[in-house]
Amino acid sequence: MRQLHRFHGGVHPPTNKTQSSETPILAAAMPSKLVIPLHQHVGNIARPVVSVGEHVLKGQVIGKADGRLSSAVHASTSGTITAINYSKVAHPSGMDDLCVTLIPDGKDEWVENLGVDYRELSHSDIRHRLRDAGVVGLGGAVFPSDMKLYSSKHQLKTLVLNGAECEPYITCDDRLMRERAEEILLGAEMMRDLLHAEEVVVGIEDNKPEALAAMQKAIIDGKHERMEAVAVPTVYPGGGAKQLIRVLTGIEVAAGVRSTEKGVQCFNVATAYSAYRAISYGEPMLSRVVTVTGNVERPQNYEVLLGTPVAELVAQAGLKSGTNGYLMGGPMMGFMLPSDQVGVVKATNCIIATAPESFPAPAPTMPCIRCTRCAEVCPAELQPQELHWFAKAKEFGKAQDYHLFDCIECGACSYVCPSNIPLVQYYRYAKSEIWARERDKRAADLARERHEYRQFRIEREKQEKAEKLAQKERAALLAKQQADAAAATTNTDEDAQARIQSAMARVQAQHDAVQPRNTDNLTPEQQAKINEIEARRAHIQELAHPEADLDKHHEQHAHATASAPAESPKE
C-alpha cells in the first residue's frame, strides 16, 4: 500500500460530474465545416503548408511545426481548404489567431498512415513521430509532449500518470480510463521506457471508483510490471501536477524547480493514450474526448474532431433555452468563449452551456477585509491578498517578488473570498502585463542591437574607406618623394660637374691671360728656376686630368704607327 501525503490548502466545490459520466463516449457527428487554429499548443505557431482550394486527406499535415518548441496541426477529415485567415479562437484573451477552414467532403478519407511497435524504433524516432503527430499535453497545458520525453540528467524514479480530474463538471478522463485503460497503459509504458523511469503511478481521485477499477484490472490483465493505480483524496486542485506529485510521492517541487530534478515526470492519461495511438497506429492528434454539459438536454462525452464549431457540438447534446454563453473548461479554471463559432482545440476538455440559474452573475466586489482565507486554501502557499494589491496597483515587480508566476490559477482563492474579489483575473492580468513588457523589452533590445550593429557596420565601413584613402595618399606621397629625390640627385650631380667645368675654364682663362714677363737677359739660374716651375705646373695638370694625358698618349701612338713603314710578309 502506497503511503499518501497532503498538499497545502485546497477546497471542496460541488463536483457536478454524474450528469455526464454515466454514458459511454459518443462519436460526434461530422460538422459542416472545421475551423482549425494553427496555434493549439505552447510555443511557436505551426506554419501553414496548404493553400486555399487545395483538397486534403484526413491526417494530412496542414500546419508544420516551426522551431524546436512547436507542434504540427493536421486535417481532421478529408475535404477542401476554403480559407486561411485570422478568426476567433478558444483562448482566454479573446483575440483572433490564424486558422484553416476546411469543408468536409463526407468521405473521411485517410492519408497513408502506418503504425509500428515502438520497441522497433529508436527513442529519437519516437520523439520525432510524436512531434510530427502533434501530440501535446491534454491536461490543459498543451505543452509539446516530445519535449518532455528526453532523458533527464537526473535519474527519474517515477512517472506519474494524472487521472485525478479534479475540476468540477469535467468527466472526459474518467470515461477514457473506463473505456480505454489498456491503451493508456501501453502509452505510459512507452513513456516510461523513453524516460528510463523505474515505475509508473496512476493517480485517480476516489470519486471515480469505476475508472480506478478499470485501470487496476488493465494492469493485472495486461501484466504491466512496475505500474500501480492509486486512489487519492478528492480535493481541489488535487489534479495539479505539483499537488499530485506531492500526494503520491511526498516530494515537494519548490518554486522554480522542475519535477524532473526531483526524479519525477507527470503526464495526463489522455496524453498517454494519444501518444500510443500516434506510434502504434500512425494516427496524428485529430480529435479528443470533450465533456458537453451544463444547460443541455443530454450531458455527454463526445469524441470530437478538432476544429468542430462549438455551436454544432452543443447542438448534438440538445441545447436548452436560456443559454447565455459557453464556458471552456470547468467553473474554477475555465473561461468564457468569445463566440459559439470557435473551433474545438486540443485544450478543449469541456464545454459548459451556461444559464443564469446555474451560473448566476457574480456578486458585487467589496473591499478586501484581510481575512486571509485565500492564503489558507492556496495550494502554492502564496499570499493571494498581497498579489491582488500589487496587481491592482500595477506594481508588477513586487508581484513577481511575491512569486506571482508560481500561481497555478486554480481559483481556490476566488472561490472562498467573502468580498467576491475576482483574484485570479487580477493575477492573469498581471502575468499578461509582465509578459507584454518582457516582449516589448526583447523587441526593444533587438532593435537596439540591430541599430548598434548598423552603426558599427557604418563606422567600420567609414574607417575602412578612410584607411584605403590614407594608404592611397601615402603611396602617392611616397612616389612623389622618390621622384623628387631622384630628380634632386640628378640635378645635384649635373650642377657639381658644371661648377667644376666652370672653375677649370676660369683657371684656364686666367692662365691664358697671363702675359709672360720679360724673360730676356735671364741668367742660367733664373731660366732653370722658371723651367722647374713650368714642369711642376704641367705635372699638376696631368694629375688633375689623367684622361687628357691618356688621349694624348693614344694620339702619339697612332701617329707613330701610321708613319712607320709596313713589314713585308714572310715567305
User: Per the domain annotation, does 527 fall within a domain?
Assistant: no
Question: Same structural domain for residues 291 and 420?
Answer: no
Domain containing 460: what range?
Answer: 366-480
Question: Same structural domain for residues 396 and 307?
Answer: no
**pLDDT (0 to 100) of residue 565:** 45
Q: Which residues are annotated as a binding site?
A: 368, 371, 374, 378, 407, 410, 413, 417
Task: Categorize the per-residue pLDDT at 545 as very low, low, confident or very high, splitting at 50, 70 and 90.
Answer: low
- Single residue among 354, 376, 396 that ends a domain in this structure: 354
Question: Same structural domain for residues 269 and 129?
Answer: yes
User: Per the domain annotation, does 374 fall within a domain?
Assistant: yes
User: Per the domain annotation, does 12 fall within a domain?
Assistant: no
User: Per the domain annotation, does 490 fall within a domain?
Assistant: no
Looking at the structure of the chain, the number of domains it has is 2
pLDDT at 527 over 80: no
Question: Same structural domain for residues 474 and 373?
Answer: yes
Question: Same structural domain for residues 183 and 72?
Answer: yes
Question: How many residues are given for the chain?
Answer: 571
Question: Same structural domain for residues 330 and 370?
Answer: no
Q: What is the CATH number of the domain that holds 110?
A: 3.40.50.11540
Rounded distance, CA 166 to CA 173, Å? 10
* Residues 6+ positions from 96 with CB-CB distance below 8 Å: 86, 87, 88, 89
User: Per the domain annotation, does 533 fall within a domain?
Assistant: no
Question: Same structural domain for residues 126 and 226?
Answer: yes
Question: Same structural domain for residues 400 and 333?
Answer: no
- Single residue among 354, 377, 407 that ends a domain in this structure: 354
* Residues 6+ positions from 188 with CB-CB distance below 8 Å: 159, 161, 200, 202, 227, 267, 272
**pLDDT (0 to 100) of residue 563:** 47
Q: Which residues are annotated as a binding site for [4Fe-4S] cluster?
A: 368, 371, 374, 378, 407, 410, 413, 417
Supply 414's cell numbers: 476566488
> What average pLDDT is seen over the chain?
90
pLDDT at 567 over 50: no
DSSP secondary structure letter of residue 564: S
The pTM assigned to this predicted structure is 0.78
**pLDDT (0 to 100) of residue 511:** 65
Question: Same structural domain for residues 395 and 307?
Answer: no
Q: Which of 173-187, 249-263, 284-298, 375-389 has the lowest mean pLDDT?
A: 249-263
Per-residue pLDDT tens over the stretch 295-305 = 999 999 999 99
% of the chain at pLDDT higher than 70: 91
Supply 309's cell numbers: 464549431
User: Per the domain annotation, does 248 fall within a domain?
Assistant: yes
User: Per the domain annotation, does 414 fall within a domain?
Assistant: yes
DSSP three-state, residue 58: strand
How far separated are the first and last CA of the chain, in Å rounded?
Answer: 149
Question: Same structural domain for residues 378 and 298?
Answer: no
Question: Same structural domain for residues 337 and 392?
Answer: no
Cis bond upstream, residue 237 (ω within 30): yes
pLDDT at 123 over 80: yes
- Single residue among 462, 480, 498 that ends a domain in this structure: 480
